[in-house]
Structure 1
Amino acid sequence: MKKRILAIIILPFFFSCKKENIKSDFIGNWSSTSDMNIEIDIKFFKDSMVVDNSIMYDTYSDNWKIRDSKIELTLLRGDTSIFNNKHIIDYEFNLTKDTLLIKSENDSIFRLKLKKIKNNFEYIENKVGLDLKLPETSEKLTEFRNKEFAFNIYIGKKNDSLIARTDNSHNLNRLKYEVFPFYYSKKEKNIDSLNFILFTDNSVHQNELDSIKTILKKLPIKSFFRIYNSEKYVKNDWKAEIKLLGKYEN
């Protein structure tokens, strides 16, 4: 009899602790991966979550609770003509719990993949789908301040293959359709201030970088600014602007 009473007391506490442990896996910043067709950013707190949704062009917030392998959501703030007051989603973590899969409970497959983000540089890496270990230099770095004159190029490797991407494309196949509108959107007096900003992984050899530059030199932007490793641009604020520190190159 005493054992039964003890079990009745302990079991609710056990399940409560288990739910709290599961909840702790969620808490933090999550962003949809580059292979998704939508951009969603979610910040999980202990009992609430804030969602930035590119499809809805809106930010809303929910209360959330864990129920087995499901999350029960109750709308806290948002347009009720767009969002349901209550809905349920299924979730699944990868083994390292840094990737989260989500789907509506009525869907047969997981349609949304989110990556856990620690800082603002990881946020950029996730958006372009490349891990970038920037090169280091003992030379003094310059800050590129006029970001409205920056056209970003990200260069890295996957399975030993060279990959180059922009903020909007996973390759350079449509590069001229991105660069020319950007170039002609600037006033003539600012043309000489335009630069390709190169985020290059340190696994990229100089001859490989030169091959990318050869492609870029066929376009109207003629200057290059290469980003180098610096602790100054990494901030825990996951959406903080990156301080562009590097050197001008030919």
Structure 2
Amino acid sequence: MPYRALVTGASAGLGTELARQLAALRVNLVLVARDRARLERLAHVLRSRYLVDVEVLAADLTDPVALDTVATRLADREAPVDILINNAGFGVYAGFEASDIADERRMHELLSWVPLRLAHAAVPGMLERGSGWIMNVASVAAFTPTGTYGAAKSAAVSLSRSLNIRYRRRGVRVTALCPGLLATEFHERMGEDHLPSLPRIAWADTTRVAREGLRALYRGRAVVVSDWRYRLGRIGIAVIPNRLLERLGTADASLDEPR
């Protein structure tokens, strides 16, 4: 039987591209996001182009009831989900001293608690079947002191490493995909004034990032930084003294990975 993947944040950006590439591999899909209309349009395209089965599950994952609905779908033994992609996310642009604490809480719940909750729902069935894959989309911000967004993403990296170590020998592979800047709607949703003024080379290609992420997931790599320019940056981060890294991190905390 063909595999089935559940992708959160599937209505735009990296989530849409991950769904498209999975469909091209003939993987059936469960698409999750808040905007049902956009999900339905994407589902129609994927069904007609790749001849795969696509379910639409509209849900605001920061709402406990909606989150439980998605978790219940993941735990369904009758129509099992083999691949979980935790991609949904947003950022808080305001500085910590000025941000709305409700926005901070929603962001941390979506980036940290939601991947844990959904993985917790998916893992038991995967272990029973002896196979499964979970991708938590994190960020290169997880490796630098770049504010509360980076703090939440570091939790996703730590969770991925822990689960991969614990369950890989039992057939369940867990990967943290850590992109850099992507040309998606992430910054646009925060307003045009929040778009970083950076040269073209600083922006990673969404298609390549999705492809590298899925390849790393298949191979069972616990953490993958994508693409090449950010892998080079990750090497640099490892050798920069902590005091200098802290100064760089506070210089501009707005360069978080966009999806």
* TM-score normalised by length of structure 1: 0.28
- Rg bigger for which structure? 1
Higher relative contact order (CA 8 A, sep 6+): 2
The structure where strand makes up a greater share of residues is 1
* TM-score normalised by length of structure 2: 0.28
